[in-house]
Structure 1
Amino acid sequence: MKRFFALFLTLVLAIGVLGACGPDNSASNSGGNNEGKNEGDKSGEATDAEKPDKLVVWEDKEKGVALEPAIKSFEEKYGIKVEYKELGMADEIRDQIRLDGPAGTGPDVLTLPHDQIGQVATEGLIAPIKVEDSVVDKFSESSIQAQTFNGELYGLPKSTETPVFIYNKALMDKAPETIDEVYDFAKDYTKGKQYGFLALWDNYYFAHSVLGGYGGYVFERTDEGLNPQNVGLNNDGAVEGAQYIQKWYKEGLFPKGIIGENGGSTLDGLFNEGKAASVMNGPWAFQGYKDAGIDIGVAPMPKLPNGEPFKTFIGVKGWHVSNYSKNKEWATKLVEWITNEENAKIRFEKTAEIPPVKSLIEDPIIADNEAAKAVAVQSQYGTPMPNIPEMAEVWEPMASALQLIATGKQEPKAALDEAVKTIESQIEQKHSSK
């Protein structure tokens, strides 16, 4: 018996040494190597000895008010203290984890926009997580796609946003169902400094909705993830979409002032002054329009001339586990907790961030809110912005191409061909080793 115990102890020590030498990049590498616990909310399997004294969360600025109720209920259920710190989500959190993570002073859980996932995962800053299918199934498919990189899930969705159709109820009775109706309205309404509809279609973030609706795509989507070697921004559908975009500028339905860097402020100014009856914009614009005294109506984008929906880019904010956390299993459990239906609903009530939780789309809290419902419905038609590092090579060439198209300096086919040539060249130069 003693010999058996000695052999067993030797084996355990050997496994421990090998584990210490390997990279700590899996959610199953901490809090006890029990993958089963990490896949579900099986709190009874974790003992008090395995619990950390504290977990640290990095939250977006001015959003902690929505996190506090979830923290309180988590602490009551599991007896683990949770502290949070607010940082700018666009870049401050990403930049700070690069410093604080290796130093051991970073968070266990952090929030990020999904288009940064590929970059931070490649850098080893966040860890993949393992949760049960029943957890994943609570969220919209597109929001889970946004949290997935190289076939692995790197977080759970926190909120979603996408451009929608916003109109001035004093100037437009109701939201048209088709963009052809919007076009006809704009042709009659646009004169002098009055415009029927405005959109920033020289900005690729917004223009993708048209190109994508006609069949263009950024990168081919495969079972393994996005394929950056297959760029679909100059295929027949993308060219047809760009021709439709050019039509609005060529016919003077969009002012020259909304082309370029100042386009967003010009569009907002015209709408706030009552000089534009409708615009394409995101939920971040709602409050500013209301503050300007505009009685806004909000709806999903109307159908394109080909009968397809606008394929808007979806932005998904998510919760992630730091790869430097020594408590990845409990951090994953916290991520599950703060994204559950109850806490997602509280977040919406306190911050108006729209959760991509399927059961909440029909909940009166969203279904009876015109703006929230419009974003939720449009999100079902959209596509997540690619979250792989190669996406960084797309924005500038596409912006240049779209501005040439909008100003009539180049035909759509030639402009998109040149943009794709540049994108492919930059991907080869900067990412070929990956």
Structure 2
Amino acid sequence: MRIRSAGVAALALGLAFSAAACGGSKSEDTPAPAATTSAALDKGNGKLVIWADDKRAPVLKSFADQFGTENGVQVEVKAFAENLQTTFLTASQKGSGPDIVVTAHDWIGNFVQNGAIDPLQLTDAQKAAFQPLAMKAVTFGNQTFGAPYAIENLALIRNTDLVPDAPQTVEDLVAKGQELKKAGKVKNILCLQSGDLGDAYHLYPLFSSAGGSLFGTTPTGDPDPKNVTLGGEESVKAFEKIATLGSKGSGALTTSIGSDNSIPTFTSKKCAFLVSGPWALGDVKKAGVKYDISAIPGFQGAKPASPFVGVQSFFVAAKGQSKALAQEFVGNYVTNKDVQLALFKADPRPEALTAALEESKAADPDLGKFLEAGANGIPMPAIPEMSAIWEPFGKAEASVIKGADPKTAVEAAAKAVTKAISK
């Protein structure tokens, strides 16, 4: 599950380092990993070290062991329950990191800035095997830096016993939620996690629909950290829209709904609408809630809601001891259908590889619904300065929900972001 609220520590760590990166790889969409000619492969120190989170590490082990056997090397897969990204950056600077790291794409900018990962040289045909948005997410500075394997975005999950049809606008959603609450059928209008510190990741779809933005764009269309638009007129107006959903408005948004209780409130049928990602479905199904998935609605007459899209990816460490082995593993093992399907079974999220996704969609229609819900989404900005956004934005969100003046809250947030970036 993705929770976006603690970016300041990451910013401080990321901006403390500096460097650059380079390298190469290839990938195939084959039914099973093809054997490598071990005599032609530089085996580095004879060991391949992979760092991944504790859900993916067990799945990778069998494929890693096969690779090790075929190439006469030792492969170690180390699992991390938390702090994988920051631990990797620190270890990279000390020369004690892995050869491969598995994590989200939005750290690419920080990794590149710190010289922690190598780009991958994929052919056009290889790139075409993946979902276009996934490839866009792992592209930074016109170079491909990761081999994507899973896509994730927020959607609206609704209790179909209470709400048979998907709301078309935020106003429709609020009206239905108020009706259900008045009838005593629910306790909350909407389960969109905020908490006392706010949650920019979950609020962003509504913020974007209302016209808000975080950064301007460069001529190439990338986010421009030199142009912070969070405090601009359009973003202020967006927060004024958000305020209409807070304590002085409809009450649809409340800081009493946070990361610890948003999903449980929905699964206990105290709320008919949940804004969450594919990670929520396990609990929803376990609770026996009849549900459907649709796009998060935007405000009436406004832009479509635009959720952030995250892409889980494999990266080759720039300072690994066995870089050729790492490139071979990522290129010829990780990017094949079998591995992507196995990773999906461990943690069901739409696969980045189209062949794997089509196979999974046939068995699980929810995958297609999440992808459709993210059709208007944008890849999470991968610039290092993005980590300066989370805490100030979250504080502004929470205060506005509680009734604070939107203009004052947004301008304070923008000032804090600009100050953090300029350090």
Q: TM-score range by the shorter chain?
A: 0.7 to 0.9
Residues 170-319 of structure 1: matches in 2 within 5 Å? 170-191=161-182, 194-200=187-193, 202-222=198-218, 223=220, 225-249=222-246, 250-254=248-252, 256-258=254-256, 263-306=258-301, 308-319=303-314
Cα distance, 1:348 vs structure 2? 1.6
Q: 1:242 to 1:138 in 2, by over 3 A?
A: farther
- Superposed CA deviations along residues 230-270 of structure 1, whole A, max 9, x for unmatched, are 122234443343233221223343364526xxx23343343
Aligned partners of 1:71 and 1:338 also within 8 Å: no
Partner of residue 64, structure 1: 57
Which structure has the larger Rg?
1
- Superposed CA deviations along residues 26-81 of structure 1, whole A, max 9, x for unmatched, are 215xxxxxxxxx4566x9997724341443322221323432454466568x6354
Partner of residue 154, structure 1: 145
Q: RCO (CA 8 Å, sep 6+): is it higher in 1 or 2?
A: 2
Tell me the SS of whatever aligns to 1:217: coil
User: RMSD value over aligned CA atoms?
Assistant: 3.1
Residues 100-179 of structure 1: matches in 2 within 5 Å? 102-103=94-95, 106-179=97-170
Partner of residue 392, structure 1: 387
Greater shift in the superposed pair: 197-206 or 385-394? 197-206
Partner of residue 11, structure 1: none
For 2:263 and 2:118, locate their aligned partners in 1 and report how far apart those are by CA, in whole Å.
Answer: 39
- Superposed CA deviations along residues 303-337 of structure 1, whole A, max 9, x for unmatched, are 44236432111222210001122443442232123
For structure 1, list consecutive stretches of 5 or more residues without a partner in the other structure. 1-22, 29-37
For 1:255 and 1:155, locate their aligned partners in 2 and report how far apart those are by CA, in whole Å.
Answer: 36
Aligned partners of 1:158 and 1:356 also within 8 Å: yes
For structure 2, list consecutive stretches of 5 or more residues without a partner in the other structure. 1-18, 29-33
For 1:388 and 1:257, locate their aligned partners in 2 and report how far apart those are by CA, in whole Å.
Answer: 29
- Superposed CA deviations along residues 404-429 of structure 1, whole A, max 9, x for unmatched, are 2111221x33322232122112211x
Amino acid at match of 2:151: T
For 2:111 and 2:361, locate their aligned partners in 1 and report how far apart those are by CA, in whole Å.
Answer: 32
Aligned partners of 2:20 and 2:112 also within 8 Å: no
Partner of residue 320, structure 1: 315
TM-score by length of 2: 0.80
Partner of residue 338, structure 1: 334
Partner of residue 366, structure 1: 361
Tell me the SS of whatever aligns to 1:83: strand
Amino acid at match of 1:92: L
Greater shift in the superposed pair: 208-217 or 290-299? 290-299
Aligned partners of 2:209 and 2:302 also within 8 Å: no
Amino acid at match of 1:242: F
> Number of aligned pairs?
390
- 1:416 lines up with 2:407 in the alignment: no
Cα distance, 1:338 vs structure 2? 0.7
Q: 1:355 to 1:26 in 2, by over 3 A?
A: same
Amino acid at match of 2:84: E
Residues 83-102 of structure 1: matches in 2 within 5 Å? 83-88=75-80, 90-92=82-84, 94-96=86-88, 98-99=90-91, 102=94
| Aligned match for 2:378, one of 360, 367, 383 | 383
For 1:369 and 1:345, locate their aligned partners in 2 and report how far apart those are by CA, in whole Å.
Answer: 12
- Superposed CA deviations along residues 352-403 of structure 1, whole A, max 9, x for unmatched, are 1321234455x25225524322222233321222222212221121112112
The structure carrying a bigger helix percent of its residues is: 1
Amino acid at match of 2:387: A
Amino acid at match of 1:226: P
For 2:99 and 2:281, locate their aligned partners in 1 and report how far apart those are by CA, in whole Å.
Answer: 33
For 1:181 and 1:367, locate their aligned partners in 2 and report how far apart those are by CA, in whole Å.
Answer: 32
Greater shift in the superposed pair: 291-300 or 399-408? 291-300
Amino acid at match of 1:232: T
Partner of residue 11, structure 2: none
Partner of residue 48, structure 2: 55
Tell me the SS of whatever aligns to 2:342: helix
Amino acid at match of 2:378: T
For 1:226 and 1:24, locate their aligned partners in 2 and report how far apart those are by CA, in whole Å.
Answer: 20
